[in-house]
Structure 1
Amino acid sequence: MKFLRSLFTLAAGAAAFACVATAHAEDINLGVISTDSSVVLKQRWEPLIEDMKKQTGLNVKAFFATDYAGIIEGMRFNKVQVGYFGNASAIEAVDRSGGEVFAKAQHANGDSGYYSLLITNVNSRFKTLDDVFKNTKDLTLGFGDPNSTSGTLVPAYYLFAKHNTPVNTSFKSVLPSSHEANLLAVVNNKIDIATNNSMMMETLKREHPDKYAQVRVLWTSPLIPSDPLVWRKDLPQATKDKLRKFFLNYAKTDPHEKAVMAGITEYSGFEASSDQQLRPIREIVLFQQKQKIESDAHLSDNDRKTQLAALDAKLSALNSAQSKQ
């Protein structure tokens, strides 16, 4: 009898261990890029995360890093399994962190994307872009996180490069920060100009119309694809199925879910996507890299040719992949 009791004890212990292991395998950390302060992000995303727990059965926890790189590195080292990214940071997550785009946000206004902006205070002396580029050496620029699509990558390419104005050398000072911090600095007239995006402006208009009235938009970019959701490729297929089902069906009809999405940043839900949505942003990145190599006086002719040939090969591969779609 004693022997049988020992066997039963061992069996029960093994079963309990198996349950713990299974539960641990279902832990999911959802990383959210730091467009705002962690407190604001938590307020906006926690209701969705609670719904995600209930509907998927997964043990979902939020991961709010102080910068974009924190989410990218978190996914790389499997501290983050699913992430909400901008397109530029999603490229890093895909290339460096074993990530894969599986969905993207839907906008409540029907747009398939959003816009990068250059903004200033309504009472500033800057009425047009010409006013900005007349003498940039006197200006303080609020710029985005280095991995931000709308705060850094798109304005660097479509605005400053087009005006032959390298960001790092053309301004009195450049202050990289979050969209929220840059927006508040413009509202309070603490900096001359800043990059931002249309989603932040819509949120400001809805929540603080008096502060919205303090902002002048000087420039609007071409359309940027909606922000993607990225998961680690090595997630179990059953877990991917749960995540896909949750996100693609969320806020389609339920009033509570619609309110949650509206509270995040004027979103109406999510739709299926893939790594292909990153292609236009990849082209911008590669073009900027080519410009940097072409202007690098420290490179030998052979090194320059070799590096440019490698970038051209990457661009050709992107175009080839697009033609097969």
Structure 2
Amino acid sequence: MKFLRSLITLAAGAAAFACVATAHAEDVNLGIISTDSSAVLKQRWEPLIDDMRKQTGLNVKAFFATDYAGIIEGMRFNKVQVGYFGNASAIEAVDRSDGEVFAKAQHANGDSGYYSLLITNVNSRFKTLDDVFRNTKDVTLGFGDPNSTSGTLVPGYYLFAKHNAPVNTSFKSVLPSSHEANLLAVVNNKIDIATNNSMMMETLKREHPDKFAQVRVLWTSPLIPSDPLVWRKDLPQATKDKLRKFFLNYAKTDPHEKAVMAGITEYSGFEASSNQQLLPIREIVLFQQKQKIESDAHLSDSDRKTQLAALDAKLSALSNAQSKQ
């Protein structure tokens, strides 16, 4: 009898451990990149996260970090299992954090993406881009997070590099910050110019039309693919299936869900995607790396030639991959 009781105890313990393990496996932390303050992001995303819990049965918790790197590292160390990223930060999550793009946001206006902007106060001395680049040493720039697509990567390549004005050396001062902080700094005339994006401007126009009237757009980028959702590749397939079903069906018909999405920066829902959507942004990253190597005076000619050849091979492979899409 004593032996039988021990077996029963062991079996009960194993079952309890299995339940705990199963429950732990159903925990999902959703990381949200820091485009705004944590308080604002929580207000916008919590209704969707509540719906995720109800519809998937998963124990979903929001994870907000003070910068993009916090979400990338969180996914790397499995503190974040699913993340809402920009394209540039999604590249880091895919390459460094075992991530995989599975969906992307849909915009309410029907656009398949959004735009990076350069903005200034409507009353500033800057009326055109020529005014900005005439004497950048007398200009204060509000720049984005290092891993921001619209705040850093796209304007760094399509705007500042095209005008031969490296951000780190060309301006009177550069103040990296969130989109929200940069927007407010422009509205309040605290900085001369700042990078931002069309989604933030649409939100400002809707929620604070008086402040929107204080902003002048000096430059608009080419279209940037919609922000992706990334999950860790090692998530259980059953969990992936629940997440995919939730996101791809969310806000398609339900008025409550549509209202929730409208509150998250003018989105209407989500659609399926993959790592393929990152290819155009990867191309920009490689072009920037190529420019740095070409201008690096510390490299020998042979090292420069070797590194440039390696980058050219990667660019060629990217070009071929995009042509097959």
1 CA distance for matches of 2:309 and 2:4? Answer: 72
1:234 Cα deviation from its structure 2 partner: 1.0
1:5 Cα deviation from its structure 2 partner: 4.0
1:236 Cα deviation from its structure 2 partner: 1.1
Residue 66 of structure 2 corresponds to residue 66 of structure 1: yes
Q: Which moved further from structure 2: 2-11 or 166-175? A: 2-11
Map 1:1-325 to 2 at 5 A: 1=1, 3-325=3-325
SS at match of 2:263: helix
SS at match of 1:264: coil
Q: Which moved further from structure 2: 155-164 or 2-11? A: 2-11
- Flag structure 2 segments of 5+ consecutive residues without an equivalent: none
1:101 Cα deviation from its structure 2 partner: 0.5
Q: Deviation per CA, 1:260-315, whole angstroms, max 9, x where unpaired?
A: 11111100000000111011111111001101100111100000001101101111
1:7 Cα deviation from its structure 2 partner: 3.3
1 CA distance for matches of 2:98 and 2:16? Answer: 32
- Normalised by the length of structure 2, the TM-score is 0.98
Q: Deviation per CA, 1:63-102, whole angstroms, max 9, x where unpaired?
A: 1010001111111111111100000000111111111100
1:11 Cα deviation from its structure 2 partner: 2.2
Q: Deviation per CA, 1:43-73, whole angstroms, max 9, x where unpaired?
A: 1111111110111111111110100011111
Q: Deviation per CA, 1:99-127, whole angstroms, max 9, x where unpaired?
A: 11000000000000000000000111111
Q: Deviation per CA, 1:9-49, whole angstroms, max 9, x where unpaired?
A: 33222211111110001111110100000111111111111
1 CA distance for matches of 2:39 and 2:64? Answer: 9
1:3 Cα deviation from its structure 2 partner: 4.6
Q: Which moved further from structure 2: 242-251 or 3-12? A: 3-12
- Flag structure 1 segments of 5+ consecutive residues without an equivalent: none
1 CA distance for matches of 2:97 and 2:3? Answer: 50
2 CA distance for matches of 1:100 and 1:124? Answer: 43
1:237 Cα deviation from its structure 2 partner: 1.0
SS at match of 1:235: coil
SS at match of 1:297: coil
2 CA distance for matches of 1:116 and 1:129? Answer: 15
SS at match of 1:117: strand
Q: Deviation per CA, 1:153-205, whole angstroms, max 9, x where unpaired?
A: 00011111111111111100000000000000000000000000000000011
SS at match of 1:31: strand
1 CA distance for matches of 2:175 and 2:129? Answer: 19
1 CA distance for matches of 2:107 and 2:42? Answer: 20
2 CA distance for matches of 1:29 and 1:177? Answer: 25
SS at match of 1:265: coil
CA RMSD across the alignment: 1.0
1:322 Cα deviation from its structure 2 partner: 2.4
2 CA distance for matches of 1:182 and 1:314? Answer: 34
1:324 Cα deviation from its structure 2 partner: 3.3
SS at match of 2:285: helix
What number of residue pairs does the alignment pair up? Answer: 325
2 CA distance for matches of 1:2 and 1:46? Answer: 52
1:323 Cα deviation from its structure 2 partner: 3.2
2 CA distance for matches of 1:122 and 1:309? Answer: 46
SS at match of 2:264: helix
Q: Deviation per CA, 1:122-160, whole angstroms, max 9, x where unpaired?
A: 111111111111111011000000000000000011111
2 CA distance for matches of 1:33 and 1:315? Answer: 28
1 CA distance for matches of 2:193 and 2:320? Answer: 39
1:316 Cα deviation from its structure 2 partner: 1.4
- Normalised by the length of structure 1, the TM-score is 0.98
1 CA distance for matches of 2:101 and 2:296? Answer: 34
2 CA distance for matches of 1:11 and 1:288? Answer: 59
2 CA distance for matches of 1:79 and 1:10? Answer: 31
Q: Which moved further from structure 2: 315-324 or 124-133? A: 315-324
SS at match of 1:70: helix
2 CA distance for matches of 1:322 and 1:130? Answer: 34
2 CA distance for matches of 1:224 and 1:10? Answer: 57
